[in-house]
Amino acid sequence: MTNMDALEALLGAELKIENDVFIKRLNTHFTVKAIDGQTINKLREQATYHVGKGKNKRAEVNEEDFKGLLIATACVSPDFGNAKLLEKYGAKDAGDCVYKALLAGEITLLQDEILRASGYAEDTDEEIEEVKNS
């Protein structure tokens, strides 16, 4: 591929990528969309808290918060911020609703598909594990 081919590929690329994910327990499909790196960074920042004081202060990412925010942001259908869903599950926000409405394996399934749609692990699942653990 030449530099011009790469440029043409980017100019013609579609960023709106959506995939359906079947949730067996609910016997329905959820629709998730790809998200960009800037959005992932914002979500990671929202899920970050600081521990320690002074020069020992360090940032840590709350993985549960990050996964909830990731799924709530990238899930086109259903909308985890829907007032009826929030009320039914007693959730404070969409990210909290993800954890209260879904089983652990369903959360992992959705997270993996969102990351795949977003360009991680086109050929391998190792990249998804890196994003999860970073």
Per residue in 84-116, pLDDT tens?
A: 999 999 999 999 999 999 999 999 999 999 999
Q: Does the predicted TM-score (pTM) go above 0.85?
A: no
| Cβ contact 40:118 at 8 Å | yes
Residue given tokens 């899930």 in the structure block: 75
Phi, psi of 79, deg, nearest 5: -90, 110
Place of tokens 């829907």: 82
Residue spans per domain, the chain: 16-35+63-133
Q: Which CATH code for domain 16-35+63-133?
A: 3.30.2220.30
19-54 residue pLDDT tens? 999 999 999 999 999 999 999 999 999 999 988 888
